[in-house]
């Protein structure tokens, strides 16, 4: 794989395609080919609406690995509905009568399940080793101040188990389309390396049901209208690639590191340093690094961007603009 292919892979992972459809049957052609598939829905009482969901679920006609339901209206004596082929993991923390998260995982997986203490919210953490770690969240709109929630979310997200794919999803009740109060939330997740995967409304004109993903793989999302509740169903597909092919024995990587270091020192990093959002700043920095590497690479073989980038950054000092 050439450097240009590597750049294309990175661009594909940073530029997420989010589809908006009105009919469940349209979803299959969009994400059925992805190996890892996750669904999230604010169901507004799981027991009351599960049968209507199953009708839509059959129309989707896809094999999902994880189903995340929020605003489940569960309490201590709730009977959790059964979905054939899945294991159910409900939250136990009681916040109010409409609260609760239930995550269903395909029976073929062997998940490690926990319930972190997330302030002002319900959540469940599902870790499927060597596959994905999913943090499913329901944050009630009755909590107007996000400060405690964000501090707690940062602590939990920072401590998520090692995994090739990290996913934060659920009804957060923060409108990430035009709510000025959502900027702190967005920057927090971007600073932790999570990419926003949904940019379409999920309830009326607001995007309240989110997917934030940390992965090196290509992914796409779908927001699908439904009558199950007043929220749309949101789907995520992640393409998990197999092990990378080893470099041919007779090939070698040829980079003029002295010229590369000089090029970096003369590069203009103002767009990186002046960017207020950490996610956008990281994207700009990656592009500058890759462009410089490509200019001084004499090999057509693939290289691991993190190995080169960290090596370069350890020798290059970026002085903030005054």
Res. 195 pLDDT band, cuts 50 70 90: very high
Q: Do 123 and 73 lie in a common domain?
A: yes
The three-state secondary structure class of 164 is coil
Q: State the pLDDT at residue 118.
A: 97
Mark whether 219 and 273 lie in a shared domain: no
- CB neighbour burial string for 16-54, b if at least 16 within 10 angstroms, e if fewer: bebbbbeebeebeebbeebebbbbbbbbbbbeebbeebe
> DSSP alpha helices (H): ranges in the chain?
3-14, 25-31, 46-60, 147-158, 183-191, 257-265, 270-273, 278-296, 305-313
Least confident piece of the model among 80-94, 95-109, 132-146, 248-262: 248-262
Q: Model confidence over 276-290: pLDDT tens digits?
A: 766 567 667 766 776
Q: How far is residue 229 from each of residues 46, 70, 289, measured CA to CA in Å?
A: 10, 11, 46
Query: Does 318 map to a domain?
Result: no
Pick 72 or 259 by higher pLDDT: 72
Q: How far is CA 159 from CA 48, 152, 192, 237, 310, in A?
A: 35, 11, 11, 24, 22
What pLDDT score was predicted for residue 243? 39
pLDDT at 276: 75
Residues 194 and 269 grouped into a single domain: no
Q: Which of 210, 238, 266 is the last residue of a domain?
A: 238
pLDDT at 292 over 80: no
Model pLDDT, residue 318:
43
Q: Domain holding 201: CATH number?
A: 3.60.10.10
Token pair 């949101």 in the structure block, residue: 234
Judge whether 93 lies within some domain. Answer: yes
Q: Are residues 290 and 218 in the same domain?
A: no
Name the percent of the chain lying above pLDDT 90.
64
**What average pLDDT does range 169-177 have in this prediction?**
96
The 10s digit of each residue's pLDDT in 244-274 is 334 444 444 466 777 878 888 888 888 888 8
The answer to whether residue 10 sits within a structural domain is: no
* The pLDDT of residue 322: 39
Looking at the fold, whether 234 and 149 belong to one and the same domain comes out as: yes
Q: Are residues 179 and 274 in the same domain?
A: no
At 258, give phi and psi (nearest 5°).
-65, -45
| Residues 104 and 226 occupy one common structural domain | yes
Please give the pLDDT value at position 254. 61
Confidence of residue 310 (pLDDT cuts 50, 70, 90): very low
The boundaries of the domain holding residue 278 are 257-313
Residue at 6 is within a domain: no
Query: Which helix H or strand E contains 40, and what residues bound it?
Result: strand 36-42
The per-residue b/e assignment along 307-322, b for 16 or more CB within 10 angstroms, e otherwise, is: ebbeebeeeeeeeeee
In the prediction, which pLDDT does 294 show? 67
274 with 195, same domain: the answer is no
Does the structure show a pLDDT above 80 at 76? no
5 within domain boundaries: no
Instruction: Indicate whether 249 belongs to any domain.
Output: no
Q: Tell me whether residue 227 is in a domain.
A: yes
Q: Are residues 151 and 266 in the same domain?
A: no
Looking at the structure, do residues 161 and 278 belong to the same domain, yes or no?
no
CA distance 234 to 238: 14
Q: Are residues 152 and 234 in the same domain?
A: yes
Q: Residue 122 and residue 224: Cα distance in Å, rounded? A: 24
Going by the DSSP 8-state scheme, the letter that residue 33 receives in this structure is T
Of residues 93, 31, 35, 27, the one with CA closest to residue 233: 27
What phi, psi does 161 have (nearest 5°)?
-60, 150
80 plus 39 within the same structural domain: yes
CA 304 from centroid of its chain's CA atoms: 22
Q: Tell me whether residue 246 is in a domain.
A: no
Q: Which of 238, 267, 297 is the last residue of a domain?
A: 238
The predicted structure's pLDDT at residue 160: 97
Q: Which residue's structure tokens are 């999902």?
A: 64
Give the total number of structural domains in the chain: 2
């Amino acid at each position: 794989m050439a450097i240009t292919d590597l750049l294309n892979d990175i661009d594909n992972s940073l530029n997420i395609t989010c589809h908006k459809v009105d009919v469940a049957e349209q979803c299959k052609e969009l994400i059925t080919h992805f190996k890892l598939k996750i669904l999230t829905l604010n169901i507004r009482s799981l027991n009351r609406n599960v049968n209507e969901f199953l009708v839509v679920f059959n129309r989707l006609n896809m094999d999902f690995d994880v189903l995340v339901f929020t605003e489940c209206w569960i309490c201590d004596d709730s009977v959790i509905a059964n979905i054939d082929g899945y294991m159910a993991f409900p939250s136990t923390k009681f916040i109010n009568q409409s609260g609760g998260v239930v995550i269903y995982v395909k029976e073929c997986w062997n998940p490690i399940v926990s319930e972190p203490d997330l302030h002002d919210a319900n959540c469940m953490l599902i870790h499927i080793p060597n596959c994905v770690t999913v943090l499913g969240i329901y944050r009630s709109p009755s909590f107007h101040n996000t400060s405690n929630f964000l501090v707690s979310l940062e602590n939990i997200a920072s401590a998520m188990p090692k995994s090739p794919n990290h996913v934060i999803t659920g009804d957060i009740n923060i409108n990430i389309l035009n709510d000025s109060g959502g900027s702190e939330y967005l920057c927090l997740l971007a600073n932790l390396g999570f990419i926003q995967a949904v940019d379409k409304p999920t309830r009326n004109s607001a995007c309240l049901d989110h997917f934030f993903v940390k992965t090196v793989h290509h992914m796409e999302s779908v927001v699908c209208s439904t009558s199950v509740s007043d929220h749309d169903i949101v789907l995520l597909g992640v393409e998990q690639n197999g092990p990378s092919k080893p470099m041919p024995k007779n090939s070698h990587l040829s980079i003029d590191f002295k010229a590369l270091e000089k090029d970096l020192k003369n590069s203009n990093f103002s767009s990186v340093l002046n960017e207020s959002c950490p996610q956008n700043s990281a994207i700009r920095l990656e592009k500058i690094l890759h462009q410089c590497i490509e200019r001084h690479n004499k090999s057509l073989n693939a290289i691991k961007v993190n190995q080169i980038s960290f090596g370069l950054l350890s020798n290059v000092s970026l002085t903030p603009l005054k």
